[in-house]
Amino acid sequence: MSNYQVDKKGFYGEFGGAYVPEILYKCVHDLQEAYLPIIESEVFKKEYHALLKDYVGRPSPLYYAKRMSQRYGCQLYLKREDLNHTGAHKINNTIGQILLAKQMGKTRIIAETGAGQHGVATATVCALMGMKCEVFMGATDVERQHINVERMKMLGAEVHPVRTGNMTLSDACSEAIRDWCCHPADTFYIVGSTMGPHPYPDLVARMQSIISEEIKWQLEEKTGRDYPDYLIACIGGGSNAAGTIYHYMDDERVKIVLAEAGGHGWNTDHTAATIHRGTTGILHGAKMLVMQDEDGQIQEAFTISAGLDYPGVGPMHCNMAKQGRTEVLSINDDEAIRAGYELTQMEGIIPAIESAHAIAALSKISFQPSDIVVLTVSGRGDKDIETYLKNKDFAQHEHIQISD
Ligand SMILES: *Cc1c(COP(=O)(O)O)cnc(C)c1O
């Protein structure tokens, strides 16, 4: 039995559970009963894997990054989730959840989104399946992420700007839950990360576990060994990290390093480093580490990276960090920007600013030359070009010179 998987009651150690309003109780309970039999059925698996292959473009390559390996003194392999259709790992999850929704006879899809990446991934699979899609998005984010709003609309989704609170991701989640309460019978809520009430964290982790399933055979093929010495991923809500580590959680030979968004520094007021800064609380249906003040008021998260901008972090990761199974590093904005430029100039890969946080972790670990390191590039950086340009001073003094 795994120490880190969800238990029968929906908990990971002290974290998780399903803290939902009375009106959603039946809905959440139905989902708890339905999800495993459906996603483990042959019919589901067949359709899910066919779509991952021909629609998403999986398996995503495991690429040996030669120049970066030399620079950091290790054997670095990049898991290329940036090459998926729609440009990130999020589509692995939305494909799985929409198939589950269909099997459960739901006709209307809702989702929350911050930067718009999960909204786009949800609108995409709704277009694919011909289902009605409504996306809740903080009004501040609607303005900041104009292109993603237009992408969602073009895909046929209705985007609802949310004007409560800070008008960002956390408020969009609350509004999606409120909507779900009003339409529990016909609506399926596609949650975007390993958060929300049980069974969502487990469901999302399973949908993303295709990442480590592939890493296993790809590593075996490339190195003759199916496990790495290190796994590295960035962590917001925790879904790409969960997928990256899923099949290695109980394998103590594998060290796990996760990079959360430090913003201006985890010990400042401008941070999203939830595992460093959070205390136990309940947010969006689960018990987890949350950035909150002494009265339990949720504090706004701050980071240059819209995809990591959430004041909580999934319960599975809260537990693993607390048990000491994962090492969590706080990476500041300037370090992420520098790392993003570095990967671009050394390997010709422009990473999402979220993924750049994972790249920045490389310089904080002392490797042995023989260490096999797998780092997940969760998404591509096309959406972040303006952010990179605005902050390029951070990268300037770092001129990269290396010979082959
Ligand atoms: C949304 C997003 C993340 C953060 O979400 P997780 O659930 O922690 O994976 C990271 N990278 C990219 C590219 C994203 O779009």
Number of C-beta neighbours around residue 257 at 10 A: 20
What is residue 399's predicted lDDT score, i.e. its pLDDT? 52
Instruction: Name the DSSP letter for residue 197.
Output: S
Write b or e for each residue in 336-351: b if 16 or more Cβ atoms lie within 10 A of its Cβ, otherwise e.
bbbbbbbbbbbbebbb
Alpha-carbon span 115 to 184, nearest angstrom: 26
- In sequence order, what are the residues at sequence separation of 6 or more whose Cβ sits closer than 8 angstroms to the Cβ of residue 331? 234, 259, 260, 261, 262, 339, 357, 360, 361
State the catalytic residues.
Answer: 90, 112, 378
Alpha helices in 104-209 (DSSP H): 117-129, 139-144, 146-154, 169-182, 200-208
Alpha-carbon span 224 to 219, nearest angstrom: 7
The answer, yes or no, to whether any atom of ligand 1 lies below 6 A from the CB of 379, is: yes
Alpha-carbon span 399 to 319, nearest angstrom: 40
What is residue 345's predicted lDDT score, i.e. its pLDDT? 97
Ligand 1 centroid, distance to 8 Cα (angstroms)? 27
By the 8 A CB rule, do 337 and 195 touch? no
Ligand 1 centroid, distance to 340 Cα (angstroms)? 15
- pLDDT, one tens digit for every residue, the chain (404 residues): 688 999 999 999 999 999 999 999 999 999 999 999 999 999 999 999 999 999 999 999 999 999 999 999 999 999 999 999 999 999 999 999 999 999 999 999 999 999 899 999 999 999 999 999 999 999 999 998 899 999 999 999 999 999 998 898 989 999 999 999 999 899 999 999 999 999 999 999 999 999 999 999 999 999 999 999 999 999 999 999 999 999 999 999 999 999 999 999 999 999 999 999 999 999 999 999 999 999 989 998 999 998 898 999 999 999 999 999 999 999 999 999 999 999 999 999 999 999 999 999 999 999 999 999 999 999 999 999 999 999 998 887 555 554 44
Instruction: Name the DSSP letter for residue 295.
Output: T
Of 396, 392, 365, 393, the C-alpha closest to 381 is 392
Ligand 1 centroid, distance to 239 Cα (angstroms)? 7
| Topology agreement, domain 13-52+90-204 and domain 57-87+209-395 | yes
By the 8 A CB rule, do 221 and 185 touch? no
The answer, yes or no, to whether any atom of ligand 1 lies below 6 A from the CB of 114, is: no
By the 8 A CB rule, do 16 and 184 touch? no
Q: Which two tokens stand for residue 5?
A: 């998987």
Mutational test site, ligand 1, from 90, 190, 284, 309, max ligand atoms within 8 Å of CB: 90
What is residue 144's predicted lDDT score, i.e. its pLDDT? 83
Instruction: Name the DSSP letter for residue 55.
Output: I
The minimum-distance atom of ligand 1 relative to the CA of 241 is: 9
Q: Which two tokens stand for residue 319?
A: 């537990």
The CATH class that applies to domain 57-87+209-395 reads alpha beta
Alpha-carbon span 352 to 384, nearest angstrom: 6
The answer, yes or no, to whether any atom of ligand 1 lies below 6 A from the CB of 387, is: no
Cβ-defined contacts of 248-255 (< 8 Å, 24+): 248/212, 249/2, 249/3, 249/4, 249/5, 249/320, 249/325, 250/2, 250/3, 250/4, 251/227, 253/227, 253/229, 254/227, 254/228, 254/229, 254/230, 255/229, 255/230, 255/231, 255/327
Three-state SS at 279? strand
Ligand 1 centroid, distance to 238 Cα (angstroms)? 7
The CATH class that applies to domain 13-52+90-204 reads alpha beta
Ligand 1 centroid, distance to 277 Cα (angstroms)? 19
Strands 230-234 and 372-377: parallel
Alpha-carbon span 325 to 322, nearest angstrom: 8
The answer, yes or no, to whether any atom of ligand 1 lies below 6 A from the CB of 308, is: yes
The minimum-distance atom of ligand 1 relative to the CA of 238 is: 8
Alpha-carbon span 253 to 181, nearest angstrom: 44
Write b or e for each residue in 36-51: b if 16 or more Cβ atoms lie within 10 A of its Cβ, otherwise e.
eebbeeeebeebbeeb
Alpha-carbon span 75 to 39, nearest angstrom: 35
Of 285, 211, 208, 274, the C-alpha closest to 10 is 285
By the 8 A CB rule, do 207 and 221 touch? no
Q: Where are the domains of the chain?
A: 13-52+90-204, 57-87+209-395
What is residue 397's predicted lDDT score, i.e. its pLDDT? 56
The answer, yes or no, to whether any atom of ligand 1 lies below 6 A from the CB of 119, is: no
Q: Which two tokens stand for residue 92?
A: 């692995």
Alpha-carbon span 288 to 396, nearest angstrom: 38
What is residue 120's predicted lDDT score, i.e. its pLDDT? 98
Residue type (1 letter), 103: Q
